[in-house]
Structure 1
Amino acid sequence: MRSSDSSLLTKVAVHIDRAVLITSTLVATVSLLVLFVALSLEVIVRYITNSSLGWTTELPNIFFPWLVMGGIVLAAQKGQHISVTALLGFLSPGVTRCLFIVLQLILLVVFAYLTVVGEKVIAITGSEVYPMTKVSAKWAYYSLVMGFGGIACTAVTTILRLLTAKDPLSVRARVIEDDV
């Protein structure tokens, strides 16, 4: 692979990763804030009036899946998922690169498939509506589709990075200083 091709692949991967990282951070942060504010408001109203707002009990059903999927995509972006690395020290960099690319291709196929299946689930459950907020249940299911798509995008950018990295172990490597 020529140096200019390598540089272009890296730039493309960096831009896609940045978009995925920003999006998943915003999704997780907004979801957490909405849940915190709504549940805090519910506690205050219950304390003062001894009654419930009602609609706040539906918000976890809508926003918690977004929080979880945002966190899962963030973990994939930052290489924070559980992994077994004991055997990697025994493999050559070329074999490690090939192994990682194969694993990322499997992830790409699986999560792209789950994205398509998720769309079908949304089509089936699209008529469900939460009674108090009148929000369609589609919104909770869209979190799965978006999360699966985010992981598939991360698999693509990881492959691009693996193709251009000198050390395949450095791709999506955890920052050890954070662990100390």
Structure 2
Amino acid sequence: MTTAANGGGGADPRLQTAAAEHPDRLALHPADRPFIMLGSALAVAATAVIGGALVYGVIMRYAFNTSSQISTELPTYLFPWLIAGGVIAAMGRRGHLTVDYFTNKFAPERRRRVELYMWVLSALTHVFVLLLSFQLIVPMSRQLSPMLGWPVLWSFLAFMVTIAVLAVQCGIRAYATLTEAAEEGENRA
């Protein structure tokens, strides 16, 4: 963000405070890599298929003066999978939304305790939402897409996969926070 106030010469220094004060918090945990790869693969595959279906629809419309139901239905059907891939990859890259203004002001030990609580609470919340989503499997399996009659359940599963993966990622972050605190305690002793 460049402004006249900071001379227009780069990023606003207020936005870089957290990174400068806590560079260790921005480093990726080795366990994040498989999730980044999974999310990226889902997003790229969904984007490629959606793009191909849309190009096919344009060709059918303008070259042959006809419409294609699959080029209309498939992008809508796969869009939740595109979002799922993006969310999973963003969480792996720590690109999710966080409000760390206050926790950055805590002492390291207190910050770790708050983060541990946050990750455990987030993991439990995701597990709870996942368990609730199982109740929707039967109603979703009865619904069909409007044009081609595909089961809507396969599209809804993107939500369930996302919530399950986020729960695992939150659990890994809680474990990493806990082991980080234990390692620092050993190093101090």
Report the TM-score when normalising by structure 2: 0.74
Q: Is the 8 A contact 1:118 1:141 kept in 2?
A: no
**Are positions 1:115 and 2:130 aligned together?**
yes
The one-letter code sitting in structure 2 at the alignment partner of 1:84 is V
**Are positions 1:45 and 2:60 aligned together?**
yes
Q: How many residue pairs are counted as aligned between the two chains?
A: 153
Shift of 1:29: 1.1
Specify the SS of the correspondent of 2:169: helix
How far apart, CA to CA, are the structure 2 residues paired with 1:118 and 1:88?
32
Percent identity over the alignment is: 22
Q: Is the 8 A contact 1:127 1:136 kept in 2?
A: yes
The one-letter code sitting in structure 2 at the alignment partner of 1:97 is R
Shift of 1:131: 4.8
1:54-107 deviation per Cα after TM superposition (whole angstroms, max 9, x unaligned)? 121111221100111111111111111122222233211111111111111111
Identify which of structures 1 and 2 has the higher relative contact order when contacts are C-alpha pairs closer than 8 Å and 6+ apart: 1
Q: Is the 8 A contact 1:31 1:64 kept in 2?
A: yes
Equivalent residue, structure 1, for 2:174 = 159
**Are positions 1:74 and 2:110 aligned together?**
no
- For structure 2, the 5+ residue unaligned runs are 1-28, 182-189
**Are positions 1:32 and 2:47 aligned together?**
yes
How far apart, CA to CA, are the structure 1 residues paired with 2:94 and 2:35?
14
How far apart, CA to CA, are the structure 1 residues paired with 2:33 and 2:102?
30
The one-letter code sitting in structure 2 at the alignment partner of 1:119 is F
Alignment of 1:123-142 (within 5 A): 123-142=138-157
Larger Rg: 2
Specify the SS of the correspondent of 1:161: helix
Q: Is the 8 A contact 1:129 1:135 kept in 2?
A: yes
Alignment of 1:62-101 (within 5 A): 62-101=77-116
Displaced runs of 4 or more, over 4 A: none
1:8-37 deviation per Cα after TM superposition (whole angstroms, max 9, x unaligned)? xxxxx845x443332222211111111000
How far apart, CA to CA, are the structure 2 residues paired with 1:90 and 1:46?
58
How far apart, CA to CA, are the structure 2 residues paired with 1:20 and 1:134?
32
Specify the SS of the correspondent of 1:130: coil
How far apart, CA to CA, are the structure 1 residues paired with 2:87 and 2:177?
21
The one-letter code sitting in structure 2 at the alignment partner of 1:82 is L
- For structure 1, the 5+ residue unaligned runs are 1-12, 167-180
Which shows bigger deviation, 141-150 or 125-134?
125-134
1:138-178 deviation per Cα after TM superposition (whole angstroms, max 9, x unaligned)? 11100000000011011011012112236xxxxxxxxxxxx
The one-letter code sitting in structure 1 at the alignment partner of 2:103 is L
Specify the SS of the correspondent of 1:126: helix
Report the TM-score when normalising by structure 1: 0.78
The one-letter code sitting in structure 2 at the alignment partner of 1:116 is L
